[in-house]
Copies of this chain bind each other. A is one copy, B any other.
Amino acid sequence: MKRIVGKHAEHKKLESNILQISQEAKAAKKKYSDVIDATVGMLHREEGNVFRFDVVDDVLHHLNDAETYHYAPVRGTKDFTEGVFDWVFGENAEMIRKYFKYSVIPTTGGSGAISNSFYNFNDFNQKVLLPNYYWSPYQNFALEANVDLKTFLMYDENFKFNVADFKEKALDLAKEQGRLCVLLNDPSNNPTGLCMTKSDWQEVIKTLNEVNKLDIPTILIHDIAYIDYQMKDSKYSREIFEAYKDLDEDILAIVVFSGSKTFSLYGFRVGAQIGLSKSQEVVDHFVRVGDYSVRGRFSSVSQPGINTIGKIFSNPDNKNRFKAEVSVATKLLKDRASLFLEEAEKNELNILPYCGGFFVSIPTKNKNIFKDLVNDHVYVIPMQDIIRVAISSLSLKDIPELVRKIKKHI
């Protein structure tokens, strides 16, 4: 048969176990009353419905026709871009504005931002460095962009972020290919729940600077999808950005914001990439290729999504209502996580250190864990030697039984 697809598309085949398992779980739930579905990466209330933010719903349903139906500008609106910037950096926003040049480009969710960045900031067949536990769609973004992934060990022997392995792999890869593009999903890592410390970040940035000094182009993609769901006091939730201050002149940092996670606007496909550098020239390149990818891939981004977010960030009443609702959402996760940890301790189940986000992960040596749990009517996402449990969509009442069943098969 003729090769109908392009050469670089020959090996693309979607094998997303996450989506597939999620569908199987849904089907099983219709058949059996005791099925526990811990696969869904959306925040749900205890009653089982999606965590809709009331202020989001209000604003969304009061957009006028132009705010709803018109094409959005490629660059979005000031309310959106500056609002996202201030929200993301919080108390560090002024510091970032002082030391960095920046630009905010709306994208089709965090996914759109990472996908574009993989494509724009690597030569074909180069590798992006990321930890050995990662959200599997990163593979899809890479193959779609005709690049590859390379991993370093996320943990050291004490289950802390493995600074030494990061440094070694980063230097090796940078020297090997003459480019370093790093992807870190932090805080509240998906799938592990890890939060890197400020000192971890300082070490990462030291390494980036070291690479950069070798005259090697250096790019940091920082996926902060779960930043608003940390367990620590919100006062400290943006402190990792203090480490950014040390970034060398011509490094490009791309901070990836997810409207899906922060606003439960999963279905709207709205997010942003914030390009930061101390060099205006680097930011100019970021804008040049970023704008181009928006136009060249999907024309523009969701107008109702951009305007809803813009109106929440730019209106103090809306913003306060929103902050209050974020606290409720985080409390929901905190209660589930606490119960999970308590039950885990009771059952002597070892879990990876959890500090926030939608997921708790559990190391396992059982290669058959997924099937064993399915036979027990429990659905989780298996990844290498861990299983990922989405506490985002679990209800408290299911947690004790879930932990017991996991313990039984782990």
Q: Which residues of A are at the interface with B, using a C-beta cutoff of 8 A?
A: 1-9, 12-14, 16, 19, 42, 49-50, 52, 60-61, 65-66, 68-74, 108-109, 111-112, 115, 119-124, 126, 137, 140-141, 143-145, 215-217, 219, 250, 252, 260, 264-269, 281-282, 285-286, 288-289, 291-293, 295-304
Interchain CA distance A3-B219 in the complex, whole Å: 11
A213 to chain B, nearest CB (A): 11
B6 touches A124 (CB 8 A): yes
Quick check: B292 and A124 within 8 Å, CB to CB? no
What is the bound-complex CA distance between A65 and B291, given in angstroms? Answer: 32
Are A140 and B292 interface neighbours, CB within 8 A? yes
Give CA–CA (A292, B19) in the complex, Å.
Answer: 13
> Which single member of B119, B296, B302 contacts A267 (CB below 8 Å)?
B302
Residues on the B chain within 8 Å of A3, using CB: 217
Contacts of A7 in B (CB 8 A): 123-124
Task: Decide if B295 touches A2 in the complex (CB within 8 Å).
Answer: no
CB-defined contacts of A12 to chain B, threshold 8 Å: 120, 288-289, 292-293, 296
**Closest residue of B by beta carbon distance from A300:** B269
What are 30 inter-chain pairs, A to B, with CB distance below 8 A? A4-B219, A5-B288, A6-B119, A8-B124, A12-B289, A12-B296, A14-B74, A14-B291, A42-B71, A49-B66, A52-B65, A70-B267, A71-B260, A71-B267, A108-B297, A108-B298, A111-B297, A111-B298, A112-B297, A115-B296, A115-B297, A115-B298, A140-B296, A145-B296, A268-B303, A268-B304, A269-B298, A269-B299, A269-B300, A302-B302
Max chain B C-beta neighbours (<10 A), residue from A66, A69, A300, A301: A69
Tell me the smallest distance from the CB of A39 to a CB of chain B, in Å.
Answer: 12
Q: Judging by beta carbons under 8 Å apart, are B215 and A6 in contact? A: no
Q: Is the CB of B9 within 8 A of A119?
A: yes
Q: Which of B65, B145, B266 contacts A69 (CB 8 A)?
A: B266
Tell me whether A269 and B108 are in contact (CB under 8 A). Answer: yes
Which single member of B70, B281, B292 contacts A14 (CB below 8 Å)?
B292
Report the minimum CB–CB distance from A134 to chain B (whole Å): 15
By beta carbon, the residue of chain B nearest A298 is B108
User: Smallest distance from the beta carbon of A299 to chain B beta carbons, Å?
Assistant: 4
Interface pair B49/A299, CB less than 8 Å apart:
no
Closest to A277 in B: B4
State the CA gap A39–B295 with chains docked (Å): 18
CB-contact partner of A65 in B50, B65, B140, B144, under 8 A:
B50
B65 near A42 with CB under 8 A, answer no
Of all chain B residues, the one with the shortest Cβ separation from A122 is B6
The chain B residue with its CB closest to the CB of A107 is B298
Q: Give every chain B residue within 8 A of A298 (Cβ-Cβ).
A: 108-109, 111-112, 115, 269, 297-298
